[in-house]
Structure formats: structure tokens, C-alpha cells
């Protein structure tokens, strides 16, 4: 049981797992904010434009037996589109930032040990030829 717990702790404390957990929590909170934005601001504005229709209550009855509540479906599509757009913009920003890091010039590498030795040998040969 002790090995199982230590393996689980090593797994759970990996950077990617912790980052993913934070992302899921923030994503859930962001989803609630977007849902509130759609429910409380966007859909009422659309309702005003469409003549006072409340999208939540839009439905269609089929043979008085089934009711399709497509209004909530429309709201969920608007939620999805806003979240997808925000994620797209965040990923685009991150990729742009990474690209700038990659394009930054790297510091020039110093001479290798072999190059230093060859330079010393060249200088010694020049001195010997100058003495002759």
C-alpha cells in the first residue's frame, strides 16, 4: 500500500498533471462566467432585437406527445462559440509568444576546446616561423 501511495503522489505532483488540474478548475469557472454572459446579457439583447422572444422558452411540440426545447440548445451553442473563440485567442496568443522566444537570437557559442587548441598551435607555429 505504501508503494501505491508513493507512486500516486509522484504521478499527481508531476508538473503536467497539476497544470491540467488548474486548467480544468479555471475552465469550469470561465464556463460559468460565459454562461452568465450569454444568459444575462447577450440573449436578452437578442430578445430585444427579435421582438421580445425569450429563447429559453422556445420549443416545438410534436403530436402533443413530445416537446423539443430548442431555445436552450441555441443558448448552449452561443456559449460554446464564445468559449471556443476565447480558447482560440488564448492559444493564438501563446503560440505567438512562443514564436517570439524561438526567433530570439541565441548567444554565439564560444570556441570549442579543439578550436582553442588549434588556435594555440597556429600561434606557436607563427612564432616559430617568425624566429627563423
Distances (CA, A) of 124 to 25, 113, 116: 67, 17, 12
List pLDDT tens digits, range 53-93.
777 778 888 888 888 888 888 888 888 888 888 888 888 98
- Identify the three-state secondary structure at position 61: strand
Q: Structural domains in the chain?
A: 2-106 (1.10.1200.120)
Cβ-in-10-Å burial (0-12, 13-18, 19+) of 100 comes to exposed
For residues 14, 26, 96, 84, the Cα torsion angle rounded to the nearest 10 degrees is 120
Query: Residue 9, SS3?
Result: helix
- For residue 66, give the DSSP letter: E
What are residue 61's DSSP bridge partners?
67
Taking only the tens place, the pLDDT of each residue in 1-38 is 788 888 877 777 776 777 777 788 888 888 888 888 88
Amino acid at each position: 500500500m505504501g508503494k501505491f501511495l508513493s507512486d500516486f503522489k509522484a504521478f499527481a505532483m508531476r508538473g503536467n498533471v497539476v497544470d491540467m488540474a488548474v486548467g480544468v478548475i479555471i475552465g469550469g469557472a470561465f464556463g460559468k462566467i460565459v454562461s452568465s454572459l450569454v444568459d444575462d446579457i447577450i440573449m436578452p439583447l437578442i430578445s430585444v432585437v427579435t421582438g421580445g422572444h425569450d429563447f429559453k422558452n422556445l420549443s416545438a411540440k410534436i403530436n402533443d406527445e413530445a416537446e423539443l426545447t430548442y431555445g436552450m440548445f441555441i443558448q448552449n451553442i452561443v456559449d460554446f462559440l464564445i468559449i471556443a473563440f476565447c480558447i482560440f485567442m488564448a492559444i493564438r496568443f501563446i503560440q505567438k509568444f512562443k514564436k517570439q522566444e524561438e526567433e530570439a537570437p541565441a548567444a554565439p557559442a564560444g570556441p570549442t576546446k579543439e578550436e582553442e587548441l588549434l588556435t594555440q598551435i597556429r600561434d606557436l607555429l607563427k612564432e616559430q616561423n617568425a624566429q627563423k
